Chains A and B, each alone.
Chain A
C-alpha cells in the first residue's frame, strides 16, 4: 500500500476516525453527507488540520510529522482558490517556484501543464477572467505541477454548472487515469464518485460505514444514506432461508440466507394497487401515500406503512390510481426483483 493512514480528529461534538489504504494509481472517493467529516479527513491528509491521533505513511515514510508545505501533495480546493493577483500561468508556476525551480524553469513547467489541460491560450488570464470550468482545470494543473505523490481533490466538480460538469468530469477522469500517484477525492455526489473513483469509502458521522468498488456499493448498500444515493429501497432484518423479516414485514427473496441480512430493491420494482390484487403476489403490504414527486420521466411515490419505501410509477398510473397524500394503497414487489445479502 502506498498510502496507509489512520486519521483521528477530535472536535467538540464530533470525532473523525477513519482508516484509509490506497494503492499507487488508485483513485479513492470519500463519499458522505454534509458534516460527515470528508473534508476534515482530506485536510488532515494535507496537513491543514491538526490530527489528534493516528498516522499517515506514504511509501513507507511518515507524513503526519511534516507541515503541509513539506508534504509531497497537490490539492484542488472546492472553490479552487486560485491566487487572484497572479495569472493562470503564474498560479501554476507557483508550486514549482516554491520547490526551488528557477523562474523561467517553473514557467516552462506551468506552460506545459496548461497545455495538458487544454488551456495554453489562457495562460495570461487572471482567475476572475476564467470560466468555472477553466478555473477548475487551472487548479488541477496547479496541483499536478508540483509532481505530487498524493493528489487531494475536495469536491472538484461541485462549483460547476450541470453542462460544464459533464465535460470536466470526463476530462478529470482522463487526467486521474494518467496520474500514477495516490488520489483521494471528496464528494457528496454519487455520480462523480462512481465515474471518477476506483473505490468508494463511505463516511458517515466521522466513521467509515462501507467501502468497495462503485459497482459493489451500488449493488449492496449498507446504510440508508448509501441506499438513497444509489436509488434503492433498503431494509435490514433477519433472514431465514429465503424469507427476511424486516420490521413487521416478511419479505420473500430469491437468495437463501441465514442471520442478519439486508434486502434491497429498486423503486421501479414496486407495484401499487388501489385494492388488494388477485393472485396475491408474495411480497404484499398495505401502505399510505406520504408524498408524490417528479423523478425523471416517472413519479416517485413515498410510502409509509410497516416499512417506508419509494415506488416509481408512470404519470399515467398516478392518474389511474388517483394518488394523493394520505391515500391507502397496496404495494407489492416480486421476490425475483429483490436482492438479499448478509449484513
Chain B
C-alpha cells in the first residue's frame, strides 16, 4: 500500500533517478555525440543501401569469391590456432612468472597492436623473406620459403592478431584468484597440472574472447598480408585483398565481399556482446 502513495510534488529528497532526468542536456556534448554516431553508422548503412541485392546470391557463388572466402576463413582459423598455441603460454608467463625485464616484454608484445600493419609486413619480409635473416636459413636448410605463400598469409595474420589474444588472456589470468592454484598445489599438483586442470578452465572465458577477437583481426588483415604474402588468387588473396582489388574493376563485387565481412563482424560482435558491449 505504501508503495502506491504518490510522492509529494516538489519533494526535495526525490530519488536520484529523477534528478538525473531533470535539467537540460548540455548541447555541447549531445551534438558531437550524435555526429559521432552518424559517422560510425552511416558508412555501414551506405553499404547496405548500395548492395546489389538482386544479384547477391549469384555474385557470392562466383568461384573467385568463394575461393577468397575459403582462404580467408582457413587462414584466420589457422592463425588463431597458432596464436592460441603460442599466445596462451606467453600470457601465462607474463601473468604468473616474475622475471627480469617482464615489463619490457609486455610492452614488446603489444607493439604489433599499434604498429602499422604494412610496417609489420616489411619487418616480416626482412626476417622471413628469401634474403631475410631467418628466411635465408629456412630456405637453405629445409627448402622452405614463406613470403608469397599461404603460410605467409597465416604468419602475417598471426603476427598482427596475437597481441589481442595475449592481452585478453593475460587480463583473465591476472583477474583469476591465484589461491585456487595454491589449493591445487597443496593437493600435489605440479605447475603444469595446475595450469591444465585449474588455471586454464578458470580463465576459459577470457581465452575464448581473446581467440574470437584474434580471429576477427586475422580475418580483416590487409596491410601485413599484402606486403609479406602478396596478392595471388587462390593462395594469398584473402577477402580484404579481394575487396580492394574488386573496387577498381567491379565496385558491385566489392560491395558484396564487404557485406560478407560485415556479416561476419556482426556475428562476432553478437557472440561477444555480454563481454564487450553490455554496460557494466
Question: For chain B, what secondary structure do more than half of its interface residues adopt (helix, strand, loop), or is it mixed?
Answer: helix
Cα-based distance from A143 to B184 in the complex (angstroms)? 10
Contact between B179 and A83, CB atoms less than 8 A apart: no
Contact between A94 and B189, CB atoms less than 8 A apart: yes
On chain B, the residues within 8 Å of A47 by CB distance are 185-186
The residue that A83 contacts in the complex, of B185, B191, B198, with Cβ under 8 A, is B198
Contact between A94 and B184, CB atoms less than 8 A apart: yes
On chain A, the residues within 8 Å of B187 by CB distance are 69, 74, 94-95, 98, 142-143, 146
Interface size on B, residues (CB 8 A): 18
On chain A, the residues within 8 Å of B271 by CB distance are none
Given A83-B198, A85-B202: A69 touches B180 (CB 8 Å cut-off): no
Contact between B188 and A67, CB atoms less than 8 A apart: no
On chain A, the residues within 8 Å of B182 by CB distance are 48, 68, 81
Contact between B183 and A146, CB atoms less than 8 A apart: no
Q: What string of 1s and 0s marks CB contacts (under 8 Å) between A45-83 and chain B?
A: 011100000000000000000011111011101000101
Q: Is B116 an interface residue (CB 8 A)?
A: no
Cα-based distance from A47 to B184 in the complex (angstroms)? 12
Cα-based distance from A70 to B198 in the complex (angstroms)? 18
Q: Is A241 an interface residue (CB 8 A)?
A: no
The residue that A69 contacts in the complex, of B179, B190, B201, with Cβ under 8 A, is B190
Cα-based distance from A98 to B100 in the complex (angstroms)? 31
Q: Is A99 an interface residue (CB 8 A)?
A: yes
On chain A, the residues within 8 Å of B201 by CB distance are 83, 85
Cα-based distance from A69 to B184 in the complex (angstroms)? 8
Given A77-B179, A94-B197, A98-B193: A83 touches B184 (CB 8 Å cut-off): yes
12 contacts between A and B (CB under 8 A): A69-B186, A69-B189, A71-B186, A77-B179, A81-B180, A83-B184, A94-B189, A95-B187, A98-B184, A98-B190, A99-B188, A152-B186
Binding site for B on A (CB under 8 A): 46-48, 67-71, 73-75, 77, 81, 83-85, 94-95, 98-99, 142-143, 146, 152
Binding site for A on B (CB under 8 A): 177, 179-180, 182-191, 193, 197-198, 201-202
**In the complex, the 3 A-B pairs of residues with the closest C-beta atoms, listed nearest first:** A95-B187, A98-B188, A81-B183
